[in-house]
A and B are shown apart, each in its own frame.
Chain A
């Protein structure tokens, strides 16, 4: 049996016995075979001795059982690591940050406690997946939409707490932004409700976020200060219609006015959808001429890239814009968008799918980009799975996701910085493309496959780590990262001698003095482990 660090075998055995008394023997997992099920299925340490593994897992079915587990863990100083559905793949999955932790598996807490159509909200437990809530809404015939991430089998609670996002309009696609009220088991076992949930007779827990006094919900996201056992979410009323249309522009430097126009339209509410700026130039099939340009010391000039795009007869940049709402309003929004982007010479416009709701099952079956309509799907796994265009499937992926300003200049600069670094590091240069899930800023994404080859994974990890540091040098922090890189990613937020991290540590020491909850999550370590590290 693997034993948590710093815990005696006797204490661990006693804690396991008490866990079994709290939740039932069948829901405490200690055999090697069972504990292996909690491995990170997409671990960047696949097949290496450094892979982070749990010592055991315990799966409660109720808030009271969570409270009991937390108290037992405190008694024996057992590090525990809550997971919701364990499907945060690419960001650590169901494995802890600290090897030897006991995973607190909340999947059995999968109750949909309330879905309110009149006021468009839901209250759910951590084990509820997007598929679960979607099925519930469909079965009840409610005129409500979910916002779903890719893929849809994750937990609403877990995804929101890790600042995950989806594709429909804001605030719904920013899953933490669209939450309203949470219930938390603190490290001492006490139960806390935020916002209006703190008023015992309030009926507005899922309608008014702030309550009175400091708004503390944020400290329970990307942290280790409590175990969230319930969470409310605002849902989007089913719109009348949906339409997607793409704007294309032909030249390298067009991205500057393109983003300016787009940002103005977004900030004024004309455009409210997930943004992914595409580039047929960079996204095209493998091409020697493109690789030659990227390999040049300057990565290719604007003129050279424009020449490349003209030769290939492809547009340089584009973005599909999705519109949701009344069809007459959508028509007017799209006309306005076209009018605005027409200021860029050579801009072209491409109509895409349009729907009126509700869809029939047959129509739903034919929808390509389901997540844009709030329909959970696992289709995103086509990205790494075996397919006609991908004969060698991956074993998972990592995402570098740096937050950069929403300007064309910032996109070009970040692309140049990373491309130059790739050349210097001996990595085939590539070009990341910006997306926008949350308010205002871009996230520049770079994907890394997890392979069967240990050496390849080692090199990818080294590159990932260097990219994190390089990004930080330029003022670009991550919005989220894999558990293996949380210390590095958190270290970028270093203003005033890491004042923010030191504040997090102060909170940690106050609310979890024994350091039992999710040691190391997002760089926040318990006091004793900080001492050991230094």
Chain B
């Protein structure tokens, strides 16, 4: 592996660049404060679970690498925010949650139960066209 060292330096540079990026990706229309948001009683279970388990990476605003990654991958062809997508399948969502992808790790059933995952998958596909 000839690029080990380069990977280190590049990785650190990525970190610096990434932390410098918020101004570009900041979303002004919402004050969604996902790290502190606890949905109120009566919110749909899928929304509650998505907010608690997913939005700290896939939400909007500063420091959301999941959103940043999907923006980089799809370049706007589909929304970078998972909860704005209309093309996800429930099977695909479950596949990623239970197997991980890239930096996103595996989520165990003690973290996200099967029932909660069903609810998240239903929430993220709620706007899909039949």
Contacts A381-B57, A382-B18, A428-B6; is A370 near B31 (CB within 8 Å)?
no
Give the residue among B16, B65, B73 with the most A Cβ atoms within 10 A. B65
Partner of B31, one of A153, A361, A368: A361
Of A202-210, A232-240, A445-453, the one contacting chain B is A445-453
Q: Do residues A382 and B110 form an inter-chain contact, with CB atoms below 8 A?
A: no
Q: Do residues A34 and B109 form an inter-chain contact, with CB atoms below 8 A?
A: yes
Give the residue among B13, B35, B98 with the most A Cβ atoms within 10 A. B35
Q: On chain B, which size bracket covers the interface?
A: 35 or more
Point out the residues of chain A lying under 8 angstroms from B17, CB to CB: 387, 389
Of B41-49, B84-92, B99-107, B118-126, the one contacting chain A is B99-107
Give the residue among A59, A152, A381 with the most B Cβ atoms within 10 A. A381
In the complex the two chains form, what is the Cα distance from A39 to B108 in whole Å?
Answer: 10
Q: Do residues A41 and B63 form an inter-chain contact, with CB atoms below 8 A?
A: no
Q: Do residues B65 and A378 form an inter-chain contact, with CB atoms below 8 A?
A: yes
Contacts A135-B36, A361-B33, A383-B15; is A41 near B106 (CB within 8 Å)?
yes
Min distance, Cβ B39 to any Cβ of chain A, angstroms = 11
Point out the residues of chain A lying under 8 angstroms from B108, CB to CB: 37-38, 57, 86, 94, 105, 107
Min distance, Cβ B104 to any Cβ of chain A, angstroms = 8
Q: Is B62 an interface residue (CB 8 A)?
A: yes
In the complex the two chains form, what is the Cα distance from A147 to B8 in whole Å?
Answer: 26
Q: On chain A, which size bracket covers the interface?
A: 35 or more
Contacts A378-B57, A394-B103; is A283 near B1 (CB within 8 Å)?
no
Q: Is A76 an interface residue (CB 8 A)?
A: no
Q: Is A380 an interface residue (CB 8 A)?
A: yes
Q: Name the CB-closest residue of A to B110.
A: A107
Contacts A107-B111, A364-B33; is A378 near B69 (CB within 8 Å)?
no
Contact mask for chain A residues 55-99; partner B; CB cutoff 8 A; 1 contact, 0 none? 001010000000000000000000000000111010001100000
Of A183-191, A259-267, A429-437, A491-499, the one contacting chain B is A429-437
Contacts A37-B106, A153-B56; is A447 near B12 (CB within 8 Å)?
yes
Partner of A379, one of B3, B19, B100, B110: B19
Give the residue among A367, A430, A455 with the most B Cβ atoms within 10 A. A430
Q: Is A284 an interface residue (CB 8 A)?
A: yes
Q: Do residues B36 and A382 form an inter-chain contact, with CB atoms below 8 A?
A: no
Point out the residues of chain A lying under 8 angstroms from B107, CB to CB: 37
Q: Do residues B35 and A427 form an inter-chain contact, with CB atoms below 8 A?
A: no
Point out the residues of chain A lying under 8 angstroms from B20, CB to CB: 368
Give the residue among B7, B11, B73 with the most A Cβ atoms within 10 A. B7
Q: Is A384 an interface residue (CB 8 A)?
A: yes
Contacts A283-B16, A368-B62, A426-B2; is A447 near B103 (CB within 8 Å)?
no
Partner of B13, one of A127, A285, A455: A285
In the complex the two chains form, what is the Cα distance from A125 to B66 in whole Å?
Answer: 28
Min distance, Cβ B36 to any Cβ of chain A, angstroms = 4
Contacts A39-B106, A379-B63; is A152 near B5 (CB within 8 Å)?
no
In the complex the two chains form, what is the Cα distance from A472 to B18 in whole Å?
Answer: 33
Q: Is A396 an interface residue (CB 8 A)?
A: yes
Q: Is A375 an interface residue (CB 8 A)?
A: yes
List 16 A-B residue pairs with CB atoms under 8 Å apart, sorted by A's residue number.
A131-B56, A134-B36, A139-B38, A361-B31, A365-B32, A367-B62, A368-B19, A385-B68, A385-B104, A389-B13, A390-B10, A428-B5, A447-B7, A448-B7, A459-B1, A463-B4
Task: Given A368-B20, A379-B64, A448-B8, output 5 extra A-B contacts at Cβ < 8 Å.
Answer: A107-B110, A385-B66, A387-B21, A396-B103, A396-B105
Give the A-binding residues of B (Cβ under 8 A).
Answer: 1-22, 26, 31-33, 35-38, 56-57, 61-66, 68-70, 72-73, 98, 100, 102-111
> 9 tightest A-B contacts by CB?
A430-B5, A379-B63, A382-B18, A41-B105, A459-B1, A107-B110, A386-B69, A381-B65, A428-B5
